[in-house]
Structure 1
């Protein structure tokens, strides 16, 4: 059957739109919170729901339980396939069906697990992250129907919000189900509800614990304070030494990088301030474009600090302190190199000769898109057609470790990172939402992309 044209694809998506919104509402209501147990009944129920929806559009979808690296039962995953022609390219569609928890209703203006439309946005936990990604895949396959001209493989993950601990063992055990020419990861977002984006890069993550010791035991601050600084102060000096006078991370061996594929549009400072809630007096740290500072230059965050609480404090000099450092690394640098650079620098630059010991912890690689790949060009053209405007590509400052792992395991696959989120989506936060007009255009864009990939040589 001949490929559908743009007008036919848009008409098909419009005709099925109410059903797709209903699908998303039903998915939100499932409360598929992986933090309550990735092997739990709520996750099995969610996986079965997703598999059923994909079977309706022709995918032979199955629910399979992963096994963790420790051999214990893992997440409930959905895998599947749809072969139209063995000589056609194969596309792997990825999304995840688990959602973040909702600790309480505070901050929500709607019921978290009841899809609610306000103006042109649908509110509910998982509406964008990543129920919207599931809708993109189901909607695109439904719109194309028998005109689909690529082979499909499917993986809908059940533990992405928990860091994907079963992911690598599962992929290695099911390599044939993942091998594809193109991988579409629908777990990111757009520049704005009306402006589409490809995600061009993801930073990696290197975490370590830094232990600072100055005394063998606590001593009285009145008797020894002055020549002997407390470990908390020394740890603070250690942290401050990571930066130059501009607030740029300046540790030898930690690389910086410019936005992948060139910078089409810098991030606006006003938006960063409004979205982050930074106090008005604060001056944004670092140099260069805000896009580079947010997406591709390294950043360090102290995510934990062991110290005496203010409540119950008393006049002694703290003998030791520990802080946990999380460094977001440039997309193309090995995070293990960053951990070693931190260890070398911090242990050799101990303030006033205190003992400093660095213990490396987790390390996850970043990822950079190939801007010249055929699939990249096809995706951008599909977005132009669907949204009617020029895409503005953007990186992401966070890390999605499974994407570089997929690229490593399948080096010949072209990876595309798309998704339904936008700056108003509040993923992981109260009042999570998705733009319904934007999501409909995302469905159209994916259908047009699959059409184009069918002609890929």
Structure 2
């Protein structure tokens, strides 16, 4: 049976598996119960073994939830392909505004399946299961599989890769954890922004002061912090930090209308920055305050605040060096301290960007696979999220090519937010593409 027809026949059972996995709240964040994550690991392992990975195991790690590692051998001398996805998910807080229970898979009128993890990344797991089932567990290439259990939090997989580099030697890595810009229009994710972060602390007073007695001449730390944060952008919303790298984006475009719709901006709210949206997303840095420490509204009283802190996250463009970008951000914060306020900067993260090579045989085989599966030639896109793991995989297998794609279309999937969903037809096309990739790689190796 041809691959597309075989995958079509498999889809009812694959969607049943996906819906079951969505019911398991496998949130690996600290403070959440361990039992659902452990259950997710064991039930995913059962599915992996049933698909044909007879040697699949939950691998021992020093801390945290274990990754699943598996392998099924192909014909002697055939290419080696490593498939990646993760079985943990983001929290699904009621405050996010879900319109259906995040742990109850729900099919709505648009045909999509809603639920936390449906796209990110339980959909990726099912894509890998479907890929192997398409060959009845006997693929034309050697297939290795790694399913991470802590991708959304403090990952333990880099340490596992460093300790066992031989397990990750391959010709092609398939990272099924991104997606197309819109349904039915294939793209490769060829670049990832990096992520640097710091905590800036602004201090102005030795202790709290009565705002009526001292307010006016005495600066409170929160207002000083607000003025400092406002210097990070120009009036249009572009990052205004000297020394931070700006790049160029020449791949697929993401229109302003599509971006507004997918971001669900409130009426009247303008987009920030200048230039095409795709360039703002993937060719320019961005900086955001993602947390603030000071007195809560409920606990407030008539006092001036002596100290306030903010956590800043800055996404950096491919080709930049995280340490250099973080140096520039820290220097800006110290140099722009208002009213002589004392400013200190604690550096907390320096994850590098990543760029995929697109001139190898793996990429060529994947391009043909996407075109056949989707019926149109693929484009190239980038992703604002960073995947630091890729650097460790690259160290373990320096010659391996990276293919980044997935089932999470940016326009509608709403990963990490409320009403996350996946389009079953998109999942089917990606399974077909992955199966065709294995076929193409095996054919090119044998020719």
User: What's the TM-score once normalised by structure 2's chain length?
Assistant: 0.91
Q: Give the aligned partner of residue 345 of structure 1.
A: 332
Change beyond 3 A, Cα 1:415–1:102: same
Question: Does residue 391 in structure 1 map to residue 385 in structure 2?
Answer: no
Structure 1 contact 38–76 (Cα < 8 Å) conserved:
no
Q: Give the aligned partner of residue 47 of structure 2.
A: 53
* Runs of 5+ unmatched residues, structure 1: 1-6
Query: In the aligned structure 2, how far is the partner of 1:101 from the partner of 1:375?
Result: 35
Q: Give the aligned partner of residue 431 of structure 1.
A: 419
Question: Does residue 191 in structure 1 map to residue 181 in structure 2?
Answer: yes
Work out which of the residue numbers 214, 218, 225 in structure 2 matches 1:235: 225
Question: Does residue 333 in structure 1 map to residue 333 in structure 2?
Answer: no
* Runs of 5+ unmatched residues, structure 2: none
Number of equivalent positions: 443
Structure 1 contact 52–61 (Cα < 8 Å) conserved:
no
Q: CA deviation at 1:147?
A: 6.7
Alignment of 1:292-307 (within 5 A): 292-307=279-294
Work out which of the residue numbers 28, 33, 55 in structure 1 matches 2:27: 33
Work out which of the residue numbers 108, 115, 119 in structure 2 matches 1:124: 115
Question: Does residue 84 in structure 1 map to residue 74 in structure 2?
Answer: yes
Indicate the SS of the match to 1:76: coil
Q: CA deviation at 1:128?
A: 1.5
Once the two structures are superposed, what CA deviation does each residue of 1:112-137 show, in whole Å capped at 9, x if it has no partner? Answer: 33333334222232221212111211
Indicate the SS of the match to 2:144: strand
Indicate the SS of the match to 1:162: coil
Q: Give the aligned partner of residue 159 of structure 2.
A: 169
Query: In the aligned structure 1, how far is the partner of 2:220 from the partner of 2:29?
Result: 38
Q: Give the aligned partner of residue 195 of structure 2.
A: 205
Structure 2 contact 181–254 (Cα < 8 Å) conserved:
no
Question: Does residue 454 in structure 1 map to residue 445 in structure 2?
Answer: no
Q: Give the aligned partner of residue 440 of structure 1.
A: 428
Change beyond 3 A, Cα 1:45–1:220: closer
Q: CA deviation at 1:11?
A: 1.4
Change beyond 3 A, Cα 1:185–1:331: same
Structure 1 contact 38–158 (Cα < 8 Å) conserved:
no
User: What's the TM-score once normalised by structure 1's chain length?
Assistant: 0.89
Change beyond 3 A, Cα 1:51–1:222: closer
Indicate the SS of the match to 1:217: coil
Query: In the aligned structure 2, how far is the partner of 1:127 from the partner of 1:241?
Result: 39
Query: In the aligned structure 1, how far is the partner of 2:331 from the partner of 2:258?
Result: 37
Q: In angstroms, what is the RMSD of aligned CA positions?
A: 2.5
Change beyond 3 A, Cα 1:343–1:109: closer
Change beyond 3 A, Cα 1:117–1:354: closer
Structure 2 contact 59–69 (Cα < 8 Å) conserved:
no
Change beyond 3 A, Cα 1:109–1:453: same
